[in-house]
Amino acid sequence: MRKPLILVTGATGKTGSAIVAQLLEQNWPVRALVHRRDARSERLHRVGAEIFVADMYDPDQMAEALRGVARVYYCPPIQPHMIQAATAFAVAARDAGLESIVHMSQWLSSPTHPSPMTRQTWLADRLFATIPDVSYTILNPGWFADNNLRVIGFAAHLGIFPVLTGDSRNAPPSNEDIARVAVAVLQDPVRHAGKRYRPTGPKLLSAHDMIAVLRAVLRRNVVPVPMPLWLLYKAGIMQGESKFAMASLRYYIEDHIQGAFEWNAPTNDVLQVTGRPAEDFETTVRRYAALPEAQRSLANTIREAAKFLRTPFAPGLNAKRYERELGLPQIGNPRFAMQDERWKSEHAGDGHHSHAVQDRRLNSHDHNHRSENDTPFRTAASGVAGGTE
Ligand SMILES: NC(=O)c1ccc[n+]([C@@H]2O[C@H](COP(=O)([O-])OP(=O)(O)OC[C@H]3O[C@@H](n4cnc5c(N)ncnc54)[C@H](OP(=O)(O)O)[C@@H]3O)[C@@H](O)[C@H]2O)c1
């Protein structure tokens, strides 16, 4: 029997590209939705993905992208109006009669979080749950290992590791493990319908714990360098990060410092969903240490030193003013995760590590035709969701 076609949005991004690769390795037909044709999309094409160029804000293009598709990995663009892209997708998905959706959400997803991005993520969580007859699964990963390892060059060549978050800890998931969870769900959506998963690495680590691993893998001394926000903005923008992403990061750093990523972490979700334990941080570091830019050479050292010395002189960001000028909606009483009792209870460690996606009270008006025991969207119990192969 032919396997159903899977659309991967954000296919040139960190999790999207890993998901495309893993699905293709397992012989699934994949349509990779890309923003533009470039070297990254060319790589996806070479390994066997069908390339579809679309703007996720364009409802017609999204409808076209979904033609013939049964299952979707939806990865929101990190942009000020991301809820508009989510709405365009929801409209197209409803018309396309999809079997299943896997949504890349956030650990912190909440309607009352101070970050406009996180509040929009929560809205998308809920919006997709209203699409009828779809097996719907949410991924709530926390702070990715990639956030810390993107600067492997500084550690490898200059022996420094920027520390943003003091002594607070996180169990960082790798892009590959997040992808493995998404792929397992996409392959058997009925089993995971109505669940949300919080993939983490196997162990809580502080920045100093990470440095110890970097020292061992890189076989050199690496020292912590506290990085203030103003310098982080300059470094991020110099590396091509958007102002919105950088402005959003300051909230997540505060959450990190307050211990939100330690809350009931690590989870067992990677093992539970994929049957394989989450990879440890050392394994992830070894992958980054093998990148060409991390190899010891004079050229690499000069490049990293030049980057480091240029950073204080790069354009900065006034994050508060930037956000004010965006004119995004504000809410009355924003709360970081650790001050939000609802968020904390939704992230309660229950030993099962998967949680019903929906709070029925918030959705009952959409589903008042259903009986009390029905879930508000298609689940394994309903027996009508897309088949397994
Ligand atoms: N990083 C973390 O620690 C963390 C933690 C928890 C959750 N998350 C969530 O992870 C998600 C990001 O996932 P990721 O890191 O895998 O993605 P990513 O690397 O940021 O990639 C985003 C992808 O979306 C594409 N894209 C952007 N705008 C588009 C548009 N208008 N139309 C079509 N494609 C568009 C980009 O293409 P171009 O590059 O060509 O524009 C890129 O391929 C976010 O929603 C974030 O909330 C991240």
The number of the ligand 1 atom at minimal distance from the alpha carbon of 178 is: 16
Gap from CA of 146 to ligand 1 centroid (Å): 13
Greater confidence (375 vs 351) lies with 351
Is the per-residue pLDDT at 9 higher than 50?
yes
- Report d(CA 31, CA 259) in Å as an integer: 38
| Mutation pick for ligand 1 pocket among 15, 35, 56, 176 (CB with most ligand atoms within 8 Å) | 35
Closest CA to ligand 1's atom 40: 35
Q: Is 245's C-beta closer than 6 angstroms to any atom of ligand 1?
A: no
Is the per-residue pLDDT at 372 higher than 80?
no
Per-residue confidence (pLDDT) for residue 348, from 0 to 100: 81
Q: Is 57's C-beta closer than 6 angstroms to any atom of ligand 1?
A: yes
The per-residue pLDDT for range 128-138, each reduced to its tens digit, is 999 999 999 99
DSSP codes joined into one string, 99-126: SEEEEE--TT--TT-S-HHHHHHHHHHH
For the chain, the average pLDDT equals 90
Residue 123 domain flag? yes
Segment among 150-159, 281-290, 365-374 with least mean pLDDT: 365-374
- Both tokens of residue 188? 């058997």
Per-residue confidence (pLDDT) for residue 384, from 0 to 100: 22
Ramachandran sector of residue 334 (left: φ over 0; alpha: ψ -120 to 50; beta: rest):
beta
Q: Is 74's C-beta closer than 6 angstroms to any atom of ligand 1?
A: no
Per-residue confidence (pLDDT) for residue 171, from 0 to 100: 98
Greater confidence (30 vs 1) lies with 30
Q: Is 321's C-beta closer than 6 angstroms to any atom of ligand 1?
A: no
The per-residue pLDDT for range 286-315, each reduced to its tens digit, is 999 999 999 999 999 999 999 999 999 999
Q: What is the CATH number of the domain that holds 276?
A: 3.40.50.720
The number of the ligand 1 atom at minimal distance from the alpha carbon of 141 is: 6
Per-residue confidence (pLDDT) for residue 1, from 0 to 100: 79
Mean pLDDT of 195-201: 97
Mean pLDDT of 12-20: 98
Residue 384 domain flag? no
Per-residue confidence (pLDDT) for residue 362, from 0 to 100: 30
**How many angstroms separate the Cα of 204 from the Cα of each of 259, 267, 281?**
11, 10, 10
Q: Is 150's C-beta closer than 6 angstroms to any atom of ligand 1?
A: no
Domain count, the chain: 1
Q: Which of 338, 332, 340, 380 is CA-nearest to residue 356?
A: 380
Q: Which of 71, 80, 84, 75 is CA-nearest to residue 15?
A: 75
Total-model pTM: 0.91
Mean pLDDT of 232-238: 95
Gap from CA of 79 to ligand 1 centroid (Å): 9
Per-residue confidence (pLDDT) for residue 361, from 0 to 100: 27
Residue for token pair 């076989």? 219
E-state strands within the chain: 6-8, 30-34, 50-53, 71-74, 100-104, 135-139, 160-163, 195-197, 223-226, 354-356
Per-residue confidence (pLDDT) for residue 230, from 0 to 100: 96
Residue 278 domain flag? yes
Is the per-residue pLDDT at 357 higher than 50?
no
Q: Which domain holds residue 344?
A: 6-379
Q: Is 76's C-beta closer than 6 angstroms to any atom of ligand 1?
A: yes
Residue 387 domain flag? no
The number of the ligand 1 atom at minimal distance from the alpha carbon of 11 is: 43
Task: Give residues with Cβ within 8 angstroms of 323, minimum separation 6.
Answer: 116, 247
The number of the ligand 1 atom at minimal distance from the alpha carbon of 17 is: 16
Strand order through the sheet with 195-197:
50-53, 30-34, 6-8, 71-74, 100-104, 135-139, 195-197, 354-356
Residue 261 domain flag? yes
| Mutation pick for ligand 1 pocket among 104, 122, 183 (CB with most ligand atoms within 8 Å) | 104
Q: Is 80's C-beta closer than 6 angstroms to any atom of ligand 1?
A: no
**Half-sphere CA count of 107, side-chain side, radius 13 A:** 28
Q: Is 194's C-beta closer than 6 angstroms to any atom of ligand 1?
A: no
Gap from CA of 298 to ligand 1 centroid (Å): 33
Mean pLDDT of 154-181: 96
Closest CA to ligand 1's atom 10: 104
Amino acid letter for position 67? R
> What confidence category does residue 167 fall into, taking pLDDT thresholds of 50, 70 and 90?
very high
Gap from CA of 89 to ligand 1 centroid (Å): 15
Gap from CA of 94 to ligand 1 centroid (Å): 23
